[in-house]
Amino acid sequence: MQAAVVKFIAMPLPVTIQDVRVVLTQPGKSRLAIVKVSTSEPGLYGLGCATFTQRIFAVATAIERHLKPFLLGRDVDRIEEIWSMSMVHGYWRNGPVLNNAISGVDQALGDIKGKRAGMSVCDLLGGKSREAAHVYVHANAECKEEVAENVQAYMARGFRYIRVQMGGYGGKGSPMVKPKKAPDGAYFDPRDYCRRMLDMIAYVREQVGEAVELLHDVHERLVPIHAVEFAKDVEQFKLFFLEDALAPEDIHWFRMIRGQCATPLAMGELFNNPHEWQMLIQERLIDFIRMHISQMGGITPARNVAIFADMYGIRTAWHGPSDTSPVGHAANLQLDLWLPNFGVQEWYQPSELDYAIFPGLPVVEDGYLYPNDEPGLGIDIDEALAAKYPPRDLVEDWTQTRLPDGSPARP
């Protein structure tokens, strides 16, 4: 009787993390942190955004001194496990520095998985719900007439969603009397801001009509009761949404705003902790979630929150200013294309230098943001060119915000 022949099939070795590096660069106003995860497969790497521009060096240190030793040798395919273990490995969690560090790795691993599969991250998530994403841009000026002119110029270029601001956040430029020896800072008057912004929005709406969607960002600069009042007063102008009417510390006041008016509300760019967004979604107190993808920890939690929000009819409007890196914008777009409950995407209008440093950065046409055909996130980085624009050491001015009497205030 012949002995049975046992055949052994050699299983391929897993692709593992061989290096984790942080590329710091500043091609514009914002200091950017890009994570590059290299693998055991020659030439295969992924990019992710870890940009917390005000604390960029703290994030870089967290990645290089803490996450990197923890990650080396791990299987790149185990994204869920790596995200979960990275979040609890430091014991203390849900803070902006570590969230951004984890996000850079999470996005890079998604980029790698897409490249290995020859698919975009959007396709890995389930495929397109749309071919391109509507974006909104910022029309800011020092007077209402110029704001209206800027809106009309954007409309002529095909944009249909436009955020209107006057004098920057808080409406700088109001006449105010400061105490003697008042310290330096970015002063603003909240009550004067309310009056001037309502007048500006009324003027712009009168000039441009209702064919364009207008948005406005309070930037959490009002005490809660005045935010309630402002949301009621602005209702008549039919905004697409009012952004960050309250600070994260005051989110329970959204119940009062919702009970007082029908102004659509967007919230979330400062959120770190799941308890900050869960209540707002479950009670349907907002209409748009707009977290900063790296601030919340990357694509993995953003995907989960967006699915959760869809169950309650709440749409997405991910944070997308210049201190989201081009890699972060590419990640935003991959989510936008997939999500059934996508609303609109904030867009910062990159410079030519941004496009040179980050080949594959998405482009806008007729108010839509389009992806390319590359796998993963579809974006790369020219490290040699990025190195020519190192991040500058500076102390932020605009976040040193003060009320007329000199009291520190939220930026």
CA–CA dist 260, 170 (Å, integer): 23
CA–CA dist 411, 400 (Å, integer): 7
Strands (E), 45-144: 45-49, 133-141
Is residue 253 within 8 A of residue 227, CB to CB? The reply is yes
Give the number of other CB atoms < 10 A from CB of residue 264.
19
In degrees, rounded to 5, the angle at the alpha carbon of residue 339 between the alpha carbons of residues 334 and 343 is: 100
Nearest to 318 by CA among 168, 162, 165, 134: 134
Residue pointed to by tokens 């496990």:
81
Please give the positions annotated as active site: 169, 219
CA–CA dist 247, 266 (Å, integer): 12
Question: Which helix H or strand E contains 19, and what residues bound it?
Answer: strand 17-25
Chain centre distance of CA 255: 25
Is residue 35 within 8 A of residue 22, CB to CB? The reply is yes
Is residue 283 within 8 A of residue 255, CB to CB? The reply is yes
Residue pointed to by tokens 């930026």:
411
Separation in Å, CA 394 to CA 29, 30, 158, 391: 11, 11, 37, 9
Is residue 270 within 8 A of residue 264, CB to CB? The reply is no
